[in-house]
Amino acid sequence: MPEMDGEVLYQRIAETWPQLASRVVFVTAQVPSPNFAMLFGDATVPILRKPFKPNQLRRLVERMLTETP
Beta bridge partners of 49: 28
Q: Is the pTM of this model over 0.75?
A: no
Question: Cα dist. 24→7, 15, 44, 60 in Å?
Answer: 11, 13, 10, 11
Determine the pLDDT at residue 69.
Answer: 61
In this predicted model, what pLDDT tens digit does every residue of 31-58 receive, in sequence order? 767 676 666 666 678 888 899 999 999 9
- Residue spans of the domains in the chain: they are 6-66
First-to-last alpha carbon distance for the chain, in angstroms, is 27
In this predicted model, what pLDDT tens digit does every residue of 2-17 receive, in sequence order? 788 888 888 899 899 9
